[in-house]
Structure 1
Amino acid sequence: MNRRTTLITGATQGLGLGIALDLAARGGTVLLHGRDRGRLDRAAAEVGAAAPAATVRTYRADLADLDQVHAMAAEIRAAEPRLDGLINNAVAGGGAEPLKRELSRQGHELRFAVNHLAPYALTRDLLPLLTASAPARVVNVASIGQEAVDFDDIMLERDYEGLRAYCRSKVALITATFHLATELRGTGVTVNTLHPAHLMDTDGVREYGLDPVTGIDEGVRPTVRLLIDPVLESTTGRYFDQFTDARAHEQTYDADARERLMKLTHALIG
């Protein structure tokens, strides 16, 4: 781990911060992403204090704005000599007002934008750095909460509900994971996804009105495993339920649905 550089999105709290603390304790360089400069600086100070031997750098972007996603990726490519791991962890949950439909800067449904479009755009933009650093790994944090994407109402303009939007965005993220894994075979870059833990003690879970049932550590361990376990060095294009190689929503394996989603995704991310 002493030479690994890993970028973690949504690293100022919850699972992302827990992952950052774990990786920093193992050595290497940890790149923290957040959208608020004050919270980002506080997270960097916490990680640095917990692991003085680690190198910590920060990058700021609002993932609800694809222009900022592209700009951050360009900044990382220019500043970082290597990137061995990318953990797409940042998330928009069900929301405190789940019946209130929110939009991204580009006018896309917010959960679809933050949970699917942003991580896919960021990963694609960072592929030159990841492939140059190979072997490298991409880990997309998904969820056991999954619902098929409705291609007739992709942005949930009818019967909107935040948790439904969240579950659909996670199916889109998993589908994109499988797509990228197929595309990148032979490059030394693996792409996997997982449900880290059930109802972790996070702000997002509480905001939606749910009671947490597991601690952050329960999600940190399986996520970090996908990043560093040598047994999984060549594993790609898989969905894990914590530590178990599992089967995701059936739509994620549908070739026609995957083609439709990725064609739309590429058009939307620019």
Structure 2
Amino acid sequence: MATVLITGASDGLGRALAEDLAAAGHRLLLHGRNPERLAQVAAATGGEVFIADFASLAEVRRLAADVAARHSRLDVLVNNAGVGFEVGSTSRETSADGHELRLAVNHLAPALLTEELLPLLRRSAPARIVNVASVGQQLFDFDDPQHERDFSQADAYCRSKLAMISHTAHLAARLAGTGVTVNALHPATFMATTMTKASGVDAQEPLEKGVAATRRLVDHPDLAAVTGAYFHSEEPSSPSDPLALDDAYTDRLAALTRRLIDASAV
């Protein structure tokens, strides 16, 4: 039985994954920002509730501290929480720290949470980090990191998700030999979730497909030693642009990510 932290567990893929893992006997730590919905998931799965809004990096730090204070081990971290997009929308939003919202929630928050929990994950090794990305991908613009020019929610979402894949590769190299693996995946395309409905796009693939793909990275024994990989559902794949995995690119993105996170701590 593994101890698994799932972010964004109050709805959609996170909730369905929690129910699936609970049925297999895993101990669940459930993160969300809606106490009522999260309480329902906890009642159904026996999971432990952690409330935090990923639009605030201070709350992300508090979440990591709470998890570390309450638990002596963490076997799996599933970075699933995210903000989607509305097709055609050019409405730009910012986080509590002043970052473009999708950059903040989909990339900076999971990067920070992972970093803060690395000591616990290392002590729990073998351990796994699973980053829920997307097939919607766009290279990061280092000249416009906050996406202030020609903004669209869809582009911002795609930038944040490819950044997560690049971060996965960079972190895997850092963690080589520690017993902590990190992989990313596109679980399924426009699953039947609240996020898909809000985007204005019809559902295309069943939620169950995304759950099965994510579950493999959580506890399938054949993937125990796999790290730094990106999967399209259950198939090994490559990001949309090979530059996303170039060492110079991932190093540059990691340095910028660190600066943006550190600036929010001042």
Work out whether the TM-score is over 0.5.
yes
Secondary structure in 1 aligned to 2:200? coil
**Of 246, 250, 261, which residue of structure 1 is paired with 2:253?**
261
**Of 194, 214, 221, which residue of structure 2 is paired with 1:223?**
214
**Of 12, 15, 18, which residue of structure 1 is paired with 2:13?**
15
CA contact (8 A) 1:199 1:214 kept: yes
Q: Give distance in 1, aligned partners of 2:57 and 2:87.
A: 23
Check if 1:24 corresponds to 2:15.
Answer: no
1:47 deviation in Å? 2.3
One-letter amino acid of the structure 1 residue matched with residue 135 of structure 2: I
The 5 Å alignment of 1:24-43 reads: 24-43=22-41
One-letter amino acid of the structure 2 residue matched with residue 47 of structure 1: T
Aligned to 1:6: 4
CA contact (8 A) 1:95 1:204 kept: no
Aligned to 1:155: 146
Check if 1:251 corresponds to 2:249.
Answer: no
Q: Structure 1, residues 61-87: CA drift from partner, whole Å, max 9, x if none?
A: 000100000011001000012100000
Query: What count of residue pairs does the alignment treat as equivalent?
Result: 261
Q: Give distance in 2, aligned partners of 1:204 and 1:99.
A: 17
CA contact (8 A) 1:98 1:208 kept: no
TM-aligned CA distance change 1:172 to 1:22, over 3 Å: same
Aligned to 2:163: 172
CA contact (8 A) 1:99 1:161 kept: yes
1:252 deviation in Å? 1.4
Q: Give distance in 2, aligned partners of 1:59 and 1:229.
A: 26
Structure 2 unaligned segments of length 5 or more: list them.
none
The 5 Å alignment of 1:141-220 reads: 141-220=132-211
Q: Give distance in 2, aligned partners of 1:66 and 1:22.
A: 29
Q: Give distance in 2, aligned partners of 1:240 and 1:84.
A: 21
TM-aligned CA distance change 1:97 to 1:65, over 3 Å: farther
CA contact (8 A) 1:196 1:222 kept: yes
- Aligned identity (percent) is 49
One-letter amino acid of the structure 1 residue matched with residue 228 of structure 2: G
After superposition, the CA RMSD in angstroms is 1.1
Q: Give distance in 1, aligned partners of 2:138 and 2:216.
A: 26
Q: Give distance in 1, aligned partners of 2:87 and 2:141.
A: 24
1:97 deviation in Å? 7.5
